[in-house]
Amino acid sequence: MDSAEQQVRTKRTIATRGIPSKESFYLPAHYSPDLRKFQDDNENALRNYWTLEELLNFIFPKKYQPTYYDIACKFMGVLLLAHHMEGKEISLFVKENSLSKATFYNRVLPRLKRVGLIKVERETLIAEHTKQKRRPMVISLSKTFGNYLNKIGESWLALVDDARSRPPKKAEHSNNSTTSL
């Protein structure tokens, strides 16, 4: 078998088209009119905070995912007041707001969990007389999202501060990437 036949027989794969939407994060340009100002002209952080709606826009961009955005805003608003919710309360929330169970449980809730805004815990209960297991869900607020982004931001600020503290050098062009300075 020659090399041409071998190439035909090998399975061809399609190149990836980018980051899967499940793992993406919406970051509009820092000068976008969609964002409230977060730094002054000297790149010093302002002491204002973004609202829940502004934060959720990074997770479910209102421009691209308005339904998910609206559901997340309603749910997180309730959760911020309650601090935690159990299965029956979540079910009641879905029913009272006439939400699609599939959209809420398969799209919105998993993404809020994945990015670290909420923590989902399950408790295993075993009924004594029937020995049946139940695993009721409890959802609570999580700081993981903030800690994750703080780590990214603080690491970048440290790299910039370190670079600015040293005298500048003439840029060298090389194919080697640097992981740390």
Token digits for 181? 């300075």
Contact 117/59 with Cβ under 8 angstroms? yes
148: left (phi over 0), alpha (psi -120 to 50) or beta: alpha
Residues of the chain with pLDDT under 50: none
Q: Given this model, what pLDDT does residue 1 score?
A: 55
- pLDDT tens-place string over residues 30-74: 888 888 888 888 888 888 889 999 999 999 999 999 999 999 999
Q: Given this model, what pLDDT does residue 7 score?
A: 58
pTM: 0.77
Contact residues for 69 (Cβ-Cβ < 8 A; gap 6+) = 56, 57, 60, 61, 62
Token digits for 120? 């989902």
CATH class in words for 21-156: mainly alpha
